[in-house]
Amino acid sequence: MIVAGSRGLGGVRAIFNSVSDMLVHYAPCPVLVVPYPLLDRERAALDKGPVVVGWDGSAGAATALQAAERLFADRTIRPVFVHDGDEPLAAAPLGLTTVPRVGLPAEHGRAIALSLAGQAGAEHAALIVVGSVGRSALSEIMLGSVAMAALHHAHRPVLLVPHRYESER
């Protein structure tokens, strides 16, 4: 795992100057990005809070869930499905929580990420784990990646697990 901080850059500066964004795109292993500043409530959850894992039934979500279970074996793992009109692509894991999507349909990735962040806040989660499907940076800007939106909008650490990661290494 690679751990990096985030300076909270926005707009064009975030696209072209973010080390954490580049790590997420190119690292072959999970990348944990810790926001700066980390708010007091989120800092307090780091020691014992559960781990919220975004779940949609995809292979990327399954890889993220496996990585979370392996990396945070001593924590409660809470898979969360954000209902946006579609059903999960695969059988639900034990303890799956379903929450409604917030935001506009045109902001698909951002809306799902905000719903995950809201659930993580409600559960006082230590971090959010999401899978990455491996799109290019340009595709993510155009299509709205849930992983990148979680990275940019969550007020707690986010672990992004690449689609090509094998958690049994």
117 near 146, Cβ under 8 Å?
no
Beta strands per DSSP E along 68-121: 77-83, 97-100
In this predicted structure, the answer to whether residue 141 has a pLDDT above a threshold of 70 is no
**Nearby residues of 142 by Cβ (< 8 Å), 6 or more positions away:** none
- Overall average pLDDT of the 18-31 stretch: 82
State the DSSP string of 28-41.
SS-EEEEESSPPHH
Nearest to 9 by CA among 157, 152, 107: 152
Percent of the chain topping pLDDT 70:
81
Token digits of residue 111 = 């809306």
- Residue 41, CA distances (Å) to 46, 52, 118, 124, 150 in order: 9, 16, 13, 8, 18
Q: Is 144 exposed, middle or buried (0-12, 13-18, 19+ CB in 10 A)?
A: middle
Which of 26-30, 61-65, 140-144 is predicted with the least confidence, judged by mean pLDDT? 140-144
Residue spans of the domains in the chain: they are 2-162
Strand 158-162 relative to strand 31-35, pairing: antiparallel
Statement: residue 106 has pLDDT above 80: no
The model's pTM: 0.84
For residue 164, what is the DSSP state?
T
What CATH code is assigned to 2-162? 3.40.50.12370
Least confident interval from 29-33, 61-65, 83-87, 156-160: 83-87
Does pLDDT of 127 surpass 80? Answer: yes
Task: Calculate Rg over the CA atoms of the chain.
Answer: 14
**pLDDT band per the 50, 70, 90 thresholds, residue 119:** very high
Mean pLDDT, the chain, as a whole number?
A: 82
Question: Confidence class of residue 12 from pLDDT cuts 50, 70 and 90?
Answer: very low
